[in-house]
Chain A
């Protein structure tokens, strides 16, 4: 049973792992980010979304933005200590010294149609059936209900999702075969401490990317 959604937004950034410091986006949405869109609409332990196909509807446009960002992460030890002492833990990083400018190269005005299917784990709860999931999913999609705000790679770049009512014409720029090289498929969570990235060879034919099936352990689902 195939699920299809249409999603669009003003900005998107699917960061390449090698350029995650000065962020540089992939040309198209990664299966990993696509999965997060489906999961935003509906997810339950025991099921997993697997992306089958990505269709690109808008020409690929990049734009460069420079932002101020912090270079340190939260110090968990400090948080622990504060909690143990009964104090409020430090919640914000406001130190000027650890700010820096980072340039981001992001996508502009994206629109995708994404197809996926569901797989159920063997140790799922007994009453979780595909039929049930389908009905819940479409009900929530039509109502606009989500578990969290859907986003395109970076939380600030909100994604709009709707029921796909038709496949538009492929824009001229996307016609032909475009080799996108190795693209991030997802991360392998079989070792949750160190989820290694998995890549696949992405080829876009007339705006369509057929995503190969790679069976990996997802977060919350076993391989």
Chain B
């Protein structure tokens, strides 16, 4: 995976979207200085975000964040208050002179001086020979400024913007430009960064295979999203992907990232690639409450992303253009208009934030065409007959919804289940058993009025198509009702559906379905005799009413046909799998009856409107 990330970053470099050694942090505070380096103003850059979540800050290409642990390392042109100004915001209690009480205030006080000194040294060294006013101003600032003086100056020490500042940079007051808007200054970093790569022991890099300098720690990633924190404008500290902090993780006496030797250049690239993607909608999606899915190709073309998003995540509308493109790609053909080639390598990674370290949940690498094919086959498996107007695709979130109590709007599905289902879909492997277990429980609990919703039936069908069981043969895993099967459980389900329909037509109630479903699907031998008697009563009622006689005849014949296919003695007990076959049979028949009934009703209404009085066969 590291290799794929490095290749992705290289493609970004090639297309000029990034620069090696630079990143795009959020700057929330600007210190405005005049040509002599005096502080003129302190500016807060935050504006309320368009998405309504949090704030948007100034984002610009800047020198990359320094890899810091407990060591001191300066950054160029932007940093936190302790490094940039030698000050930290501290809560303290002071005595108010007027009221003589102790009050709590927050003030900037001097922090670790070596951090500021490192920043000062770096900036002065790089800016020394640059002959533009802004550079000279910044140089002068570092000459003149001292943390102690600033701490004793109330305009600075109690400045509200400064107290909450996280990332500080500078603006040149004389022309209103930011210090990083000057290319001559920004480019100074390129050479300096190359020097920083020459640190660390030399070992064979596991990405390139060459002997390179191995940094002992890697940069931290931008914070991964969770359902509580999903703002792209993050100021917080993220976590590492690769780090070895506890003793049990180290081997053979190697310390820290010597355990995973990655060359300095590759180390920077893979983290930069990850950070480029996190927060960028084209590459990043949050699934459930913490699974961050990143998807990329090694080319720079992001049309691939659009198509995958449309297909799997359903959050990009499927335009005719996209639909046509998917058709071609599924047939293995390239799409010139969008520059798509089904053989392009496509990578999908799932990461979750964990305590202190981000965990890689899965990493899939396949050709783009294969991914599309797998997802398409998944949707094919889910296809099922239904009255309800259905989206062309049953989305994954909908599938997960079927595993939770539907009356609770905040019920969250098991996140591990989400990862497993996504993996199964993308890899074309069997769905997790937990999926079927959960849906079964929901069905038994009687969530929907009709006992089984189309989504649930679709899930049953898709699940068993991928996990063949002899008790649930292919012949009944069909989109529509299969009237010719002899599968016992399936036909029992069908029979039950007819009985439920009889009751509905006879007395308008649905209590048979409500009360007897579970026992019928678990212990048919004990339940069906009762159901036969009930059914007979309803049938008699329908037959004695002229209006419903025709329909009753039809149902009677249907019952006879199904009973013909059933053995003399019904099974005493159905296994889980057989119960699912029962469920599918019930759904198919129920749906079929509903279709016929509403069609007939429409026809009858039409006929009545046209003044026709032909008797309907199907009631």
Question: What residues make up the interface of A, taking CB atoms closer than 8 Å to B?
Answer: 16-22, 24, 61-62, 64, 66, 69-73, 100, 103, 105, 181-182, 184, 187, 193-201
Closest 4 pairs (CB-CB, A-B)? A18-B260, A71-B246, A22-B359, A73-B247
Query: Is the Cβ of B261 less than 8 Å from the Cβ of A197?
Result: yes
Which B residue sits closest to A108, measured CB to CB? Answer: B429
Which A residue sits closest to B204, measured CB to CB? Answer: A199
Q: If A17-B259, A61-B429 touch, does A69 touch B359 (CB 8 Å cutoff)?
A: no
> What CA separation (Å) do A22 and B249 show in the bound complex?
10
6 residue pairs of the A-B complex, CB under 8 angstroms, read A21-B244, A22-B354, A22-B359, A105-B361, A194-B253, A197-B203
Residues of B within 8 A of A70 (CB): 248
Q: Which among B253, B359, B362, B429 has the greatest number of chain A C-beta atoms within 10 A?
A: B359
Residues of A within 8 A of B355 (CB): 100
Query: Is the Cβ of B206 less than 8 Å from the Cβ of A182?
Result: yes
Query: Is the Cβ of A17 less than 8 Å from the Cβ of B360?
Result: no
> What CA separation (Å) do A193 and B247 show in the bound complex?
16
Residues of A within 8 A of B207 (CB): 181-182
Partner of A199 from the list B1, B206, B247, B253 (CB cut-off 8 Å) is B206
Query: Is the Cβ of B248 less than 8 Å from the Cβ of A19?
Result: no
Query: Is the Cβ of A103 less than 8 Å from the Cβ of B361?
Result: yes
Residues of A within 8 A of B429 (CB): 61
> What CA separation (Å) do A198 and B208 show in the bound complex?
12
> What CA separation (Å) do A200 and B207 show in the bound complex?
10
Residues of B within 8 A of A61 (CB): 429
In the complex, whether B419 has a CB less than 8 A from a CB of chain A is yes
Which B residue sits closest to A195, measured CB to CB? Answer: B252
In the complex, whether B262 has a CB less than 8 A from a CB of chain A is yes
CB distance from A213 to the nearest CB of B (A): 16
Query: Is the Cβ of B362 less than 8 Å from the Cβ of A105?
Result: yes
Please provide the chain B residues from 11 to 70 with a CB less than 8 Å away from any CB of chain A in the complex: none
Query: Is the Cβ of B248 less than 8 Å from the Cβ of A64?
Result: no
Query: Is the Cβ of A18 less than 8 Å from the Cβ of B262?
Result: yes
Complex interface bits, B415-434 against A, C-beta within 8 A gives 1, otherwise 0? 01001100100000100000
Residues of A within 8 A of B252 (CB): 187, 194-195
Residues of B within 8 A of A187 (CB): 252
Q: If A17-B261, A20-B260, A197-B206 touch, does A71 touch B357 (CB 8 Å cutoff)?
A: no
CB distance from A132 to the nearest CB of B (A): 33
Q: If A69-B248, A71-B246, A71-B247 touch, does A18 touch B206 (CB 8 Å cutoff)?
A: yes
Query: Is the Cβ of A21 less than 8 Å from the Cβ of B204?
Result: no
Residues of A within 8 A of B244 (CB): 20-21
Query: Is the Cβ of B360 less than 8 Å from the Cβ of A22?
Result: yes
Question: What residues make up the interface of B, taking CB atoms closer than 8 Å to A?
Answer: 1-3, 203-209, 242-244, 246-249, 251-254, 259-262, 354-355, 357, 359-363, 416, 419-420, 423, 429
CB distance from B111 to the nearest CB of A (A): 32
Q: Which among B2, B252, B259 has the greatest number of chain A C-beta atoms within 10 A?
A: B252
Partner of A20 from the list B3, B251, B354 (CB cut-off 8 Å) is B251
Residues of A within 8 A of B360 (CB): 19, 22, 24, 105
> What CA separation (Å) do A201 and B1 show in the bound complex?
15
Query: Is the Cβ of B248 less than 8 Å from the Cβ of A182?
Result: no
> What CA separation (Å) do A19 and B363 show in the bound complex?
12
CB distance from B509 to the nearest CB of A (A): 47
Query: Is the Cβ of A21 less than 8 Å from the Cβ of B247?
Result: no
> What CA separation (Å) do A210 and B229 show in the bound complex?
48
Query: Is the Cβ of A193 less than 8 Å from the Cβ of B253?
Result: yes
CB distance from B538 to the nearest CB of A (A): 51
Query: Is the Cβ of A196 less than 8 Å from the Cβ of B361?
Result: no
Q: If A64-B419, A69-B248, A199-B209 touch, does A19 touch B242 (CB 8 Å cutoff)?
A: yes
Query: Is the Cβ of A71 less than 8 Å from the Cβ of B203?
Result: no
Residues of A within 8 A of B248 (CB): 69-73
Residues of B within 8 A of A69 (CB): 248
Which B residue sits closest to A69, measured CB to CB? Answer: B248
> What CA separation (Å) do A141 and B357 show in the bound complex?
43
Query: Is the Cβ of B357 less than 8 Å from the Cβ of A62?
Result: no
Q: If A17-B261, A20-B260, A64-B361 touch, does A201 touch B249 (CB 8 Å cutoff)?
A: no
Query: Is the Cβ of A200 less than 8 Å from the Cβ of B209?
Result: yes
> What CA separation (Å) do A88 and B259 show in the bound complex?
33
Which B residue sits closest to A19, measured CB to CB? Answer: B360
Q: If A17-B259, A61-B429, A72-B248 touch, does A197 touch B204 (CB 8 Å cutoff)?
A: yes
Beyond A17-B261, A18-B242, A24-B363, 9 additional contacts (C-beta under 8 Å) are A62-B362, A64-B419, A72-B246, A72-B248, A182-B207, A187-B252, A193-B253, A196-B203, A198-B204
CB distance from A124 to the nearest CB of B (A): 26
Residues of B within 8 A of A200 (CB): 209
CB distance from A173 to the nearest CB of B (A): 10
Query: Is the Cβ of B203 less than 8 Å from the Cβ of A17?
Result: no
